[in-house]
Amino acid sequence: MSEELYKKMAQSIIDGDPDASAALAREAIAAGIIHPLDAITKGFVIGVNTVGDAFGRGEAFLPELVMAGEAMKAAVATLDPELKRLGSERKMLGKVVIATVEGDIHEIGKSLVATMLGASGFDVHDLGVDAAPEKIIGKALEVNADIIAMSALLTTTMVKQKEVIEDLEKEGLRGKFKVMVGGAPVTRDWVKTIGADGYSEDAMGAVTVAKQLLETK
Amino acid sequence: MSNKIKSITNPKLKLEILTPADVKKIHEATLWIIEKVGVKFPSKRALDIWAENGAEVDRDRKIVRVRGDVIESALKKCPPMYPLAARDPSQDLSLDGNHVFVGTDGCGVEVIDIQTGQRRLSKLQDVADIARIADATEEIAFHWVPVSAQDKPPETRGLHEVKTIWENSTKHAQTESIYSEHEAKAALEMAAMIAGSKEALRKRPVLSLMQCTASPLGHDGGSLDAALLAAEAGIPTGFMTMAACLTTGPATLAGNLAVGNAEVIAATALLQLAHPGAPVFYAAAQTASDPRSGAYTGGGPEDFLFGAATNVLADFYNIPLSMGSFATGAKEPNWQAGVENSLSTFMASIAMSDMLLGVGFLHGSRIWSFAEMMMDCEIFSIIHKVMQGIIVDDETLALDAIAAVGPTGHFLAQKHTRQHMRDIFLCEFMDRRPYGEWENKKDDGRDWALAKARKILAEHKPEPLDPKLSREFDKIIESLENKTAA
């Protein structure tokens, strides 16, 4: 019975169907025979891994990966209140505060990275676009983040990535957070110049970088 | 590997390269050339046919002058469509004016060895390897004998080549390397054995012949005799002009088209006078010589214009066209190869040339490159996609998805995206990787193309030819070799 349900959960993620994954999450809670944590680790995550592996082999496409991420998000959102009620917590890889920097409204790259990090088991706090340095640092302190991730599409806003790092240093907080940056104009040289810790050119690469940064923390 | 064949059909793109008035002028100029200047037919058989049909025949100079109405009425007998048959009937190609098929190019003399990367003389094994790889691709619809089997005797080389193609592929074989009566007879005998009988061969010609003209305004005697034999047997036969502005044709494009046209339609008319209704095709690969050296270019804007214009002429005569495209002049698969092969193939495709020749060569159809072969296939696939144009309807306007996403946000999580994402072209040999990944490896499409060719060669097992047929073919070739030795 539960095996059957786990399979359906994984499939709802593979199908990228948030309605189905949320419905299955509700079903699990109502039936009460599956612990919400098991629903995640034995059901939904299997689906995420399946799509992720297929993407790595070039067989699944980006929309499928994003849809799997969205379906995962819907399932977790449904299960969260029940988890809290039971007093148990999902073990996360780490906490990430992510934003597009101040003055920049370009969102898709940042959102993709957020979705992929979330689907890979990070606790992601997405501040959206046009986020001022103090807002980013404030949120990182508030949630006790492991990683600050910043996106910029313009060379004119990219400098804000540098500003955040400088502010962290000024306030003696630089050692507390790993900083990763991204965006079309960002290069390895820029990363070195501003003293960031990590960088990737695409969303899946960002997940790998985030995992590596946690290990060095 | 797939038996499917990719062809351009029902195109959405159009190009008017010549107006009907332009075509009429070229046609009239062509008839004037044939009647007033004449065309050389150095074959007794051909000259006799011309004489019987009221042409003015100069037996000493072997030049024929023919009235326009004789040419025009002969051309009316050409069948407008017919198939190029394959050993596997599901791979028959319909030359109906609504399909563009790609073949391998021919006929080269050197090969960049697929394993060592060294350039060397071509041999029979190369013909086998190329045929086997072509058999596995969707893009290559038929074979031209790609390289010369220089390890076989000249008198029977053409026969070894087609036999080898049939042994390594189920697709249609076309050759330009059979240009004597004795080889043509033997090839027709072999083709009839594959088809089942002479009559079956007429219905399903598994072989077609291409003969080169000798520009300006000439033909080769052996080629004419071989073509007449093929036409008699119902084997599709075409004459290819390669008239080149400046050297073997006038410097101007229109004049060059008229010279080439005179060569092709005069020979085509000859076949119809001898064997009315024989399947024929127009073939061309005109070019311009480089004014600085006279060199053959293998590409350039003139070639691209010829590529599109010639199909308008072939359409005017209502016969299929085999057009020279690809065949870059570049020395290695590089920038020049990409530009020349893309543009020549696009122009020949947008005009809906029935056959394109063909993939695989460097240095003006002299050096075979397996990497270029694979990349040329990708060029065709890109053009195949472009020719489908843009479909505008409720589904493709995607208003529901647009409303669901709204301002900002993204379309990645929309069902509509999932339904249509596989319509988007996937390249194999274009580098779209992150910069850092390229920086680490410094490889590119050429490496991936070569790796793909090697993989196919190692893994692909074509449907074998009946070994009994192979043995019969050996006997035919051997007896011909013994005869020429004696």
Reduced to 3 states, what is the DSSP secondary structure of residue A183? coil
State whether B363 and B284 are in the same domain: yes
Range of the domain at B398: 394-423
What's the confidence (pLDDT) of residue A33?
82
Instruction: Report the residue of chain A nearest B424, measured CA to CA.
Output: A61
Query: What's the whole-number mean pLDDT along residues B298-325?
Result: 96
Residue range A36-48, pLDDT digits in tens: 999 999 999 999 9
Q: pTM of the entire structure?
A: 0.92
B427 contact A CB<8A: no
List the single range of A10-19, B127-136, B176-185, B369-378 with lowest mean pLDDT: B176-185
Nearest CA of chain A to the CA of B450: how many Å?
A: 20
B486 contact A CB<8A: no
State whether B282 and B309 are in the same domain: yes
Confidence band for B202, pLDDT divided at 50, 70 and 90: very high
Confidence band for B332, pLDDT divided at 50, 70 and 90: very high
What's the confidence (pLDDT) of residue B85?
97
Into how many domains does chain B fold? 2
What's the confidence (pLDDT) of residue B486?
75
Contact across the interface for B413 and A66, Cβ inside 8 Å: yes
> Residues 16-55, chain A: which have Cβ within 8 Å of B?
16
What's the confidence (pLDDT) of residue B180?
86
State whether B266 and B402 are in the same domain: no
Query: What's the whole-number mean pLDDT along residues A72-85?
Result: 92
- Give the closest of A111, A112, A201 to B436, CB-based: A201
What's the confidence (pLDDT) of residue A127?
97
State whether B246 and B200 are in the same domain: yes
Q: Has residue A2 got a pLDDT over 90?
A: no
- Give the closest of A66, A107, A112 to B408, CB-based: A107
Query: What's the whole-number mean pLDDT along residues B363-383?
Result: 97
Contact across the interface for A67 and B418, Cβ inside 8 Å: yes
Q: Which residues of A touch B412 (CB under 8 A)?
A: 62-63, 66-67, 108, 112
State whether B414 and B464 are in the same domain: no
State whether B310 and B416 are in the same domain: no
Residue range B314-331, pLDDT digits in tens: 999 999 999 999 999 999
Confidence band for B181, pLDDT divided at 50, 70 and 90: confident
Nearest CA of chain A to the CA of B412: how many Å?
A: 5
Instruction: Name the one residue in this structure whose structure tokens are 């209140």.
Output: A81
Instruction: Name the one residue in this structure whose structure tokens are 């699944």.
Output: A60
Instruction: Report the residue of chain A nearest B434, measured CA to CA.
Output: A201
Q: Has residue B297 got a pLDDT over 90?
A: no
Q: Has residue B156 got a pLDDT over 60?
A: yes
Q: Has residue B108 got a pLDDT over 70?
A: yes
State whether B399 and B318 are in the same domain: no
Looking at residue B458, its amino acid is A
State whether B483 and B417 are in the same domain: no
Contact across the interface for B412 and A63, Cβ inside 8 Å: yes
Nearest CA of chain A to the CA of B13: how many Å?
A: 29
B412 contact A CB<8A: yes
User: What is the percent of chain A where pLDDT is above 70?
Assistant: 100
Confidence band for B134, pLDDT divided at 50, 70 and 90: very high
Query: What's the whole-number mean pLDDT along residues A163-192?
Result: 96
Q: How far apart are CA B156 and CA B210, in angstroms?
A: 17
Reduced to 3 states, what is the DSSP secondary structure of residue A93? coil
Q: What does the domain layout of chain A look like in residue ranges?
A: 2-86, 95-216
What's the confidence (pLDDT) of residue A119?
86
**Contact (Cβ atoms closer than 8 angstroms) between residue A206 and residue A180:** yes
Q: Has residue A156 got a pLDDT over 80?
A: yes
Residue range B204-239, pLDDT digits in tens: 999 999 999 999 999 999 999 999 999 999 999 999
Interface test with A, best of B405, B412, B422, B437 (most A CBs within 10 A): B412
Nearest CA of chain B to the CA of A200: how many Å?
A: 9
Instruction: Report the residue of chain B nearest A184, measured CA to CA.
Output: B434
State whether B267 and B368 are in the same domain: yes
- What does the block give as tokens for B160? 């070894």
What's the confidence (pLDDT) of residue B2?
60
What's the confidence (pLDDT) of residue A58?
86
State whether B404 and B325 are in the same domain: no
Q: Specify the fold of A95-216.
A: Rossmann fold (3.40.50)
Q: Has residue B144 got a pLDDT over 60?
A: yes
What's the confidence (pLDDT) of residue B323?
97
Confidence band for B345, pLDDT divided at 50, 70 and 90: very high
What's the confidence (pLDDT) of residue B140?
98
Query: What's the whole-number mean pLDDT along residues B238-259?
Result: 97
Q: Has residue A113 got a pLDDT over 90?
A: yes
Q: Which residues of B touch A112 (CB under 8 A)?
A: 410, 412
Looking at residue B28, its amino acid is E
Q: Has residue B1 got a pLDDT over 60?
A: no
Q: How far apart are CA B29 and CA B27, in angstroms?
A: 5
> Which DSSP symbol is given to A97?
E
A151 contact B CB<8A: no
B436 contact A CB<8A: yes
Query: CATH second-level architecture of A2-86?
Result: Orthogonal Bundle (1.10)
- Give the closest of B410, B417, B418 to A108, CB-based: B410
Reduced to 3 states, what is the DSSP secondary structure of residue A1? coil
A183 contact B CB<8A: no
Residue range A86-106, pLDDT digits in tens: 888 888 999 999 999 999 999
Q: Has residue B383 got a pLDDT over 90?
A: yes
Instruction: Report the residue of chain B nearest A202, measured CA to CA.
Output: B434
Between the alpha carbon of residue B374 and those of residues A22, B52, B321, B357, B377, the distances in Å are 46, 49, 24, 14, 5
Confidence band for B396, pLDDT divided at 50, 70 and 90: very high
Q: How far apart are CA B210 and CA B147, in angstroms?
A: 15
Q: Has residue B265 got a pLDDT over 90?
A: yes
List the single range of A18-27, A114-123, B121-130, B225-234 with lowest mean pLDDT: A114-123
User: What is the percent of chain B where pLDDT is above 70?
Assistant: 100
Instruction: Name the one residue in this structure whose structure tokens are 């046919």.
Output: B49
A39 membership: H or E segment, kind and range = none
Confidence band for B199, pLDDT divided at 50, 70 and 90: very high
B432 contact A CB<8A: no
Contact across the interface for A61 and B434, Cβ inside 8 Å: no
Mean pLDDT of the residues in chain B: 96
A130 contact B CB<8A: no
Q: Which residues of B touch A105 (CB under 8 A)?
A: 408
What's the confidence (pLDDT) of residue A1?
65
Q: Has residue B474 got a pLDDT over 60?
A: yes
